[in-house]
Amino acid sequence: MYLLTTARGHGEKPLASTMSPPPAIIPTAAEGAARIILVHGTGHGGWCWYRVATLLRAAGHRVDAPDLAASGADARRLRDAPTFEDYTRPLLDLLQALPDGERAVLVGHSFGGMSVALAAEAFPDKVAAAVFVTAFLPDCTNPRSHVIEKLTLTDWMDSVTDAEHDPPSVFLGPEFLREKLYQLSPPEDYTLSQSLARVSSHYVADLRGQPPFSEARYGAVRKVYVVCDQDQAMLEPYQRAMIAGCPVAEVRAIAGADHMAMFSALAELAGHLADVANTYA
């Protein structure tokens, strides 16, 4: 069975019909489909998945979208999460609490890819697949910070950084969000981000001091990468360079998706995630 829905949200720039023919089809949850855990990126929270989570749940999928520490509605301040593991702890606790024998599809967006990698390293037997949506995809050779430090994003525009306090922080500015992340997304979702964005960190120094992720744990987890070709923050060539450095089971591409694919390519992304949950259960 399938759930039919319109392919794109209000306010998006129209794309050629050959790229994204409506209506989009969301596969309904198969018997035994894996739980889907959606992991947000820098400055965001579980709220940014609200549209995708709604579609997936309507199709019968089990979905969680936790707030990581000092993110979304989480009450902690950034200083209360001094390490990357502290920041990722809500995801680690959620995964650890899964019943024996249950596995989840972890979906990391943007910096959320790093949290997914840490969770896969910690609990590889609980991860059916790790999906990276225009996300950082660390390898098993270099320091964990490598893929962050190699990203040559030189213009943070009106974003505000603070390197004087621990951990160093960034607050993504409204112009940066509009021009680099949300340029094809519905305007109401960009507006929502202005109300809910929070100060965050990339924890580069902390990650640099950690050993590479292991081949036996993180490296053994099946991975799917979703390329978004209109991402103006993490450009497509960089997405594909990370894929070349870390073997994945599948590469899926969404034409016309900006960095916030959960808004600019809602149904396409939800369809991919539903299919992965059914396929990799």
pLDDT at 1: 53
In a domain, 128, yes or no: yes
* Catalytic residue chosen out of the listed positions 40, 44, 259, 272: 259
Residue 184's pLDDT is 99
Q: In whole angstroms, what is the distance from residue 246 CA to residue 215 CA?
A: 10
Contacts of 244 (CB under 8 A, 6+ apart): none
Is 272 annotated in the active site?
no
pLDDT value of residue 154? 63
Looking at residue 152, what is its pLDDT? 76
Domain contains 240: yes
Q: From first to last of its 281 residues, what are the pLDDT tens digits of the chain?
A: 555 444 444 344 433 323 333 335 899 999 999 999 999 999 999 999 999 999 999 999 999 999 999 999 999 999 999 999 999 999 999 999 999 999 999 999 999 999 999 999 999 999 999 999 999 999 999 999 999 999 976 688 999 999 999 999 999 999 999 999 999 999 999 999 999 999 999 999 999 999 999 999 999 999 999 999 999 999 999 999 999 999 999 999 999 999 999 999 999 999 999 999 999 98
In a domain, 5, yes or no: no
Q: Active site includes 110?
A: yes
CATH at residue 78: 3.40.50.1820
Catalytic residue among 86, 189, 206, 231: 231
CA-based nearest residue to 213, from 92, 67, 115 = 115
The answer to whether position 206 is within a domain reads yes
275 carries an active-site annotation: no
Catalytic residue among 20, 110, 145, 201: 110
Q: Considering the domain boundaries, does residue 187 fall inside one?
A: yes
Domain range for 169 is 25-279
Contact 266, 258 (CB under 8 A): no
Are residues 40 and 191 in contact, defined by beta-carbon separation less than 8 angstroms? no
Whether 15 is in a domain gets the answer no
Instruction: Report pLDDT for 25.
Output: 80
Q: Confirm whether 18 is domain-assigned.
A: no
User: Tokens for 1?
Assistant: 């069975």
68 domain-assigned? yes
Q: Which of 99, 36, 68, 46 is nearest to 274 (CA)?
A: 36
Structural domain count, the chain: 1
| Cα 87 to Cα 49, 69, 78, 118, 135, distances in angstroms | 18, 5, 8, 11, 17
- For 201-227, the three-class secondary structure string (H helix, E strand, C coil) is CCCHHHHHCCCCCCCCCHHHCCEEEEE
Q: Report the relative pairing of strands 169-171 and 160-162 from DSSP bridges.
A: antiparallel
CA distance 124 to 114: 15
